[in-house]
A and B are shown apart, each in its own frame.
Chain A
């Protein structure tokens, strides 16, 4: 165990120290390259700022895909029949392939992939808080397909359209197609479930806690977060609030169509979605309930909850790292 800690420390400093070495273009050269309509194809086109930025967004994406696998796997055990379990397994396999794309590109960006996947401490993973909350049933799994995979789809489509990092942009064509299948899986199941009162109540109960968690997924509002370099260097194309709107535009009409209530509606005059509950809100992770009676809370309170992570963080990371740790650390 002592050796293992040492490796971690040296890997962390390795990750930081080599940036200037690996990315030798100046910031002006990167701006010129992008202004000429070219894509960044590898380290040879990157400046230190570009490399730091692309690593950051690739890590969030890789971690999100990666953690969805153990989360969905745990819930898939409640599949009503073997062929349903099969569909869930094929979704999980897709997620691992998506994670692999982002991790191998991080490898090309000079990050140690083994450290990232198998040695990194649980609390250093950078996926949304929603995955720290367990999915406990088949109904919750299919609701996650309809809500979480929709969020993934919104974020990745934006990157697919706007990213200036060529290898990622091209790889996302396949990912978008597969995410469409995941959210269709969720929607098909929800339609089937709401036909019976009991199923409808279960979907409503799941959506009640998952909807606001997915709203949070898109991060701080634009008034609190500067996107400067993220947009300028084309790590993404849209701001957090624009992406949150895109997600509501996809999810809210579907939920209305199937008779599931969500705390958001379209304001026709401005053609924007309005959140109808206090937001951001206080969450009780143990009960998986929102305490809306206290009204909106500060984003600082939300950031504290995110930083504290939730019960499934260490469970999922342990699940994914166990084989490697047993083989390498003993």
Chain B
């Protein structure tokens, strides 16, 4: 199955980035396009993606 990327975004300079969802693409460029087009419901000022397998847990839920 394709690589998973977590998507974070924010709508204003006052707020921090928060988790809005995830996309699955093997290719980084495609993952960026997917994130922008799937999560276009708000006028974001910033959006980033992070490969899920690069995330390290300091405290587990």
Contacts and interface: CB of A to CB of B under 8 A. Distances in A.
Contact of A174 (B24, B38, B41, B61): B41
Interface residues of B, number: 9
A38 B60 CA distance: 12
Given A97-B38, A97-B41, A174-B41, A107 B24 contact: yes
Given A38-B61, A101-B21, A171-B21, A107 B38 contact: no
A112 B1 CA distance: 7
B22 interface: yes
Interface residues of A, number: 16
Contacts of B24: 104, 107, 113
A18 to B, nearest CB: 12
A323 interface: no
Given A38-B61, A39-B61, A166-B61, A107 B1 contact: yes
A104 B7 CA distance: 13
Contacts of A100: 38
Most A CB within 10 A of own CB, among B21, B23, B24, B38: B21
A123 interface: no
A112 B24 CA distance: 11
Interface string A162-175: 00001000010010
Interface in A92-117: 94, 97, 100-101, 104, 107-108, 112-113
A174 B40 CA distance: 13
Interface in A232-282: none
Interface of B: 1, 4, 21-24, 38, 41, 61
Interface of A: 38-39, 41, 94, 97, 100-101, 104, 107-108, 112-113, 166, 171, 174, 178
